[in-house]
Amino acid sequence: MDVLFLIVVLGLRTFVAEPFSIPSSSMYPTLKVGDYIFVSKFGYGNYDLFGINIYNTELYAEVERGDVIVFDFPRNVRLPYIKRVVGLPGDAIKIENKTLFVNNVAVPLLKESETEDVTYLREELNGVSYQVTHQKRQNRNMPTVTVPANNYFVLGDNRDNSNDSRYWGFVPEENLLGKLVYILSAGR
C-alpha cells in the first residue's frame, strides 16, 4: 500500500500540481519571500519531477495575459522562475515612464499608496487586477518588442527589482511548467 501511495503522490506532482517556494522578492507584493505556492501543471506539456524531465506534450492549456506562471528559466532550464505573463505571441510590448503598453494601449494603473521610496499601484491586464511596485528613483524605459510565435513576455510585479523578459528575452512555450493556483503563507 505504501508503494501505491508513493506512485499516486509522484504522479500527481508530475502531471497535476506541484508546490514551489518563493526565493526572491521579484513578484512582491503578490508573492513574498518564503511563500509556498501550488502550480497547476495539467495542460502545460512540460512534466518534470524534481527537475528531471519525465514527459512532454504540446501546450494545450490556455495562457492568458495576467497569469502568473512558473517556467524553466531560458538561460538555465534547471532553475524554475515565476513571473506574470504580460505578452502573448504576436503582442507588441513597451514600457515608457513606468507604464506598460500592450499593442500600443497603456495598461491601466491606479496609485494605491506610497512610501518614501516605493509607489504601490493597482494594474489591470486582461480583466486581472493585481498590485505592482515601482521604485521612485528608477525609471527604466523599454522600446517596443514583438513577442515571437510560441513565446511569452513576462514581468515581475516588483517592477524595478525583477530579472525578467526585459533583460533575458522571451519564455519559449516548451519551458512552461504551470500556472499559479494557490498561495500558502503563514504571514497572510
158 beta partners: 133
Q: Which of 131, 140, 130 is nearest to 160 (CA)?
A: 140
Q: Cβ of 36: how many Cβ atoms within 10 Å?
A: 14
Q: Which helix (H) or strand (E) holds 167?
A: helix 165-168
Query: Quick one: cell of 145?
Result: 518588442
Task: Please say whether the beta carbons of 70 and 80 come within 8 A.
Answer: yes
Contact between 154 and 83 (Cβ < 8 Å): yes
Question: Which is the catalytic residue, given 21, 24, 25, 26?
Answer: 26
Q: Which one from 24, 32, 41, 83 is the annotated catalytic residue?
A: 83
Catalytic residue at 83? yes
Hey, which residues are catalytic here?
26, 83
